[in-house]
Chains A and B, each alone.
Chain A
Amino acid sequence: MLSKNAKKIINNYLSLPFKNKGGVQCPYFNNARSKQRGQLRSLVGKGTPKEIIEEVEILTKQYGINLENLNTEEIKKFLVEHNLGIECSGFITNVLQQHYLEKDKINLIKKIFIPTKNFFRKIIVSFRKIENINVKALANPKNSILVKDWKKVQAGDLIIMLQTGPNNTRDHIILITGNELSIIKYVHARQWSSEGKYHHGVQTGEIKVTNPQKNLLNQTWTEKEKQGENNETFMEAKNAKILEIRRIKIN
């Protein structure tokens, strides 16, 4: 079971805690497209809800926009247009960081092993750890172990999809939040092509175990009331060259 603070941060991503304003879903943002270097964490898709809100407050102040006058839709639009959001591995790292800090007093971000090409990268990584944690790093055997029986997944486990997307160039990661009564619940940060420019972000979903004898892809995936080919998360899982369930291993 995920810790109280981990659940709280998930809820904060699902509905960013702006003052007097609820229901702003944290959008998806991946820095791979804009390739910002040495930027603020919140501007490269790795920020916590608090950091994202702080950046919105600073930017709106600079633009002379009164945040109080914006509705949730407008705030979401503002976030997307200013590259404020979270990407899948950033979201999961921030949630699990809270989980392990509360549960075991362990700083997960410090513990995660990040493979580096050279000494220079190693120095950069030592300063900007979270910014360099990606799906591959979380899937690295030094950081997580394979859960062979998918039916035994538990809250905190990760569904890892490597080489997925239309051209098999993307990686994606999903966090399991519960597994009860044959329903596996999950949460992740993602962008569906069918959602347009503004309606993506952190989203919950579930996998109903309908064929326990078969693999995970033969179960019923439901997200935003969509199933089968309309469910892009399921399609990503289906397209992935490697689909695994892994559990974080603390060294």
Chain B
Amino acid sequence: MFEINSMIEACSPFSVHLLRQAFIFTMAATVGAFLWAPFLTKILYKYKITRRSEFDFTLRGERRKKTGTPIMGGLLIIITVTVITVLFNWSREYTYVPIGAMGIAALLGAADDLLNIFGKKRRIKKLSHIIKLSHVHKVWYIRLWYKLTIPWAAFRRFVGMFGSHPGKGILVHEKLFFQGLAGAIVAWWIYFKLGSHWHSIWIPFDGQIHLGWLIIPLVIFFVAFTANAVNFADGLDGLAGGSLIASFSGLALISWAEGRPAFTLLNATVAGALLAYTYFNIKPARFQMGDVGSLGLGTLLAVNAIAINKTMLIPILGFIFYIEIFSVIIQVISKRLLGKRFFKMAPLHHHFEFRGWSEEKIVMRFWIINVFFVIVGVWMALY
């Protein structure tokens, strides 16, 4: 019906035929997601996968109204995109790895969401305690083990500073491990499967720079960083969903302009599913994305940009997400190193909430800013 296989093989840039197909994928994803959204909501309510004030310390004050809202609404996008792609846009060369990486990240997010509700509080040993144990433990090999793992313990404590969950879900260092794994799979695919052309990185207005194997750590970094960036932005109703529509639409446009059918259709599908999701997620939200959606889609955003060799455009196409994550990094550094707040609160959307902006005002302004930067990104990609 969609003549995908023949189209994936070859397609000219700015193909009207491809554009038509992309719109069909978008509409199919929107309608498909819309149709099963009530079913998902019912399941989430049935199994009480909802935000609960007894577990969620962010549900205070004005935010108390969000208590009882189902989380893991991101499943709507993840499942819709996976099903449509597997059925109509499946290619071992192109869409197999992006969907796989998204799946790993989404599984990680799902585990985090569920553990945050049903799990037990988890603690990690203080670094000073481990150092002490490495000296005083009665068994010599355990002392040695503690000594050898001091750098890892220091890393756990350091990245733990960026965590915001109530200590029940997956810990930050575990998240980074699995995100690194997803990034490594993508890097393997990019480096070994997509050909030597992908060993170079596109620089806006400046052609290509050959990176060789250095592309591997770069890919891992962008995948993990973008996944977390989207995760941080998922704090207000409609914010992450609406901003992602613009980002994936931008990617679809760039892929179309470059004549890359598989990615044009994949990005168009995500944008379509996001339309349906955002319809239900705008304030007051019927459900929230949860880590299952934010980590999965953040990973996919990075992978799809890397796959069309537009890695350097990720911070522009996902501008709001990068601003959000940088606001957290700056705040943590300022708090821990200088003992002062840089922002009233972080991520940045909470800073504006504190300044008295309404949720709707923040969300819509952030959408507009993100749309603007997506336009900038697409414009840059055309050079």
Q: Are B61 and A41 in contact (CB under 8 A)?
A: no
A58-B344, A58-B354 are known contacts. Are A131 and B60 too (CB-CB below 8 A)? no
A38-B161, A61-B354, A64-B60 are known contacts. Are A44 and B339 too (CB-CB below 8 A)? yes
Answer yes or no: B341 CB below 8 A from chain A CBs: yes
Answer yes or no: A213 CB below 8 A from chain B CBs: no
Answer yes or no: A102 CB below 8 A from chain B CBs: no
Query: Chain A: which residue is nearest B339 at the CB level?
Result: A41
Q: Are B62 and A64 in contact (CB under 8 A)?
A: yes
A54-B341, A64-B60, A64-B61 are known contacts. Are A38 and B336 too (CB-CB below 8 A)? yes
Query: Chain B: which residue is nearest A131 at the CB level?
Result: B339
Query: Chain A: which residue is nearest B127 at the CB level?
Result: A37
Which residues of chain A are within 8 angstroms of B354 by Cβ–Cβ distance? 58, 61
Q: Mark B261-298, 1 if CB is under 8 A from A, else 0.
A: 00000000000000000000000000000000000000
Which residues of chain A are within 8 angstroms of B341 by Cβ–Cβ distance? 40, 54, 58
Q: Are B335 and A38 in contact (CB under 8 A)?
A: yes
Which residues of chain A are within 8 angstroms of B338 by Cβ–Cβ distance? 127-128
Which residues of chain B are within 8 angstroms of A54 by Cβ–Cβ distance? 341, 344
Which residues of chain B are within 8 angstroms of A63 by Cβ–Cβ distance? 60-61
Query: Chain A: which residue is nearest B332 at the CB level?
Result: A38
Query: Chain B: which residue is nearest A64 at the CB level?
Result: B61
Bound: A130/B339 CA distance, A:
9
A58-B345, A58-B354 are known contacts. Are A39 and B61 too (CB-CB below 8 A)? no
CB distance from A109 to the nearest CB of B (A): 12
Q: Are B345 and A64 in contact (CB under 8 A)?
A: no
Chain B: number of interface residues, binned into ranges? 10 to 19
Which residues of chain B are within 8 angstroms of A128 by Cβ–Cβ distance? 337-339
Answer yes or no: A46 CB below 8 A from chain B CBs: yes
Answer yes or no: B64 CB below 8 A from chain A CBs: yes
| A contacts with B, residue count (CB < 8 A) | 18
Interface Cβ pair total, 8 Å cutoff: 40
Answer yes or no: A62 CB below 8 A from chain B CBs: yes
Candidates A39, A41, A62, A130; contact of B60 at CB < 8 Å: A62
Give residues 32-49 of A contacting B (CB, 8 Å): 38-41, 44, 46
Answer yes or no: B340 CB below 8 A from chain A CBs: yes
Q: Mark B337-365, 1 if CB is under 8 A from A, else 0.
A: 11111001100000000100000000000
Give residues 31-75 of B contacting A (CB, 8 Å): 60-64
Which residues of chain B are within 8 angstroms of A38 by Cβ–Cβ distance? 161, 335-337
Which residues of chain B are within 8 angstroms of A61 by Cβ–Cβ distance? 61, 354
Candidates A40, A58, A62, A130; contact of B335 at CB < 8 Å: A40
Bound: A63/B64 CA distance, A:
9
Bound: A148/B61 CA distance, A:
56
Which residues of chain B are within 8 angstroms of A130 by Cβ–Cβ distance? 339
Bound: A46/B340 CA distance, A:
11
Give residues 304-346 of B contacting A (CB, 8 Å): 335-341, 344-345
Bound: A64/B66 CA distance, A:
13
Bound: A38/B332 CA distance, A:
10
Q: Are A41 and B340 in contact (CB under 8 A)?
A: yes
Q: Are B340 and A51 in contact (CB under 8 A)?
A: yes
Which residues of chain B are within 8 angstroms of A62 by Cβ–Cβ distance? 60-61
Q: Are B60 and A40 in contact (CB under 8 A)?
A: no
Give residues 135-167 of A contacting B (CB, 8 Å): none
Answer yes or no: A242 CB below 8 A from chain B CBs: no
Which residues of chain A are within 8 angstroms of B344 by Cβ–Cβ distance? 54, 58
CB distance from A53 to the nearest CB of B (A): 13
Bound: A54/B61 CA distance, A:
17
Q: Are B339 and A39 in contact (CB under 8 A)?
A: yes
Q: Mark B146-179, 1 if CB is under 8 A from A, else 0.
A: 0000000000000001000000000000000000
CB distance from B166 to the nearest CB of A (A): 14
Q: Are A46 and B339 in contact (CB under 8 A)?
A: yes
Q: Are B61 and A65 in contact (CB under 8 A)?
A: yes
Q: Are B339 and A40 in contact (CB under 8 A)?
A: yes
Give residues 79-126 of A contacting B (CB, 8 Å): none
Among A63, A64, A65, A131, the most chain B Cβ lie within 10 Å of the Cβ of A64
Q: Are B337 and A127 in contact (CB under 8 A)?
A: yes
Which residues of chain A are within 8 angstroms of B336 by Cβ–Cβ distance? 38
Q: Are A64 and B337 in contact (CB under 8 A)?
A: no
Bound: A39/B60 CA distance, A:
22
CB distance from A78 to the nearest CB of B (A): 14
Bound: A39/B339 CA distance, A:
6
CB distance from A251 to the nearest CB of B (A): 24
Query: Chain A: which residue is nearest B65 at the CB level?
Result: A64
Bound: A63/B344 CA distance, A:
15
CB distance from A188 to the nearest CB of B (A): 22
Bound: A184/B340 CA distance, A:
35
Bound: A38/B334 CA distance, A:
10
Which residues of chain B are within 8 angstroms of A65 by Cβ–Cβ distance? 61
CB distance from A166 to the nearest CB of B (A): 27
CB distance from A61 to the nearest CB of B (A): 6
Query: Chain A: which residue is nearest B353 at the CB level?
Result: A61
CB distance from B337 to the nearest CB of A (A): 5
Which residues of chain B are within 8 angstroms of A64 by Cβ–Cβ distance? 60-64
Query: Could you show 20 A-B contacts with beta carbons less than 8 Å apart?
Result: A38-B161, A38-B337, A40-B341, A41-B339, A51-B340, A54-B341, A54-B344, A58-B341, A58-B344, A58-B345, A58-B354, A61-B61, A62-B61, A63-B60, A63-B61, A64-B62, A65-B61, A127-B338, A130-B339, A131-B339
Task: Using CB atoms and an 8 Å cutoff, list the residues of chain B in contact with chain A.
Answer: 60-64, 161, 335-341, 344-345, 354
Task: Using CB atoms and an 8 Å cutoff, list the residues of chain A in contact with chain B.
Answer: 38-41, 44, 46, 51, 54, 58, 61-65, 127-128, 130-131
5 A-B pairs besides A38-B335, A40-B335 with CB distance below 8 A are A38-B336, A63-B61, A64-B60, A64-B62, A64-B63
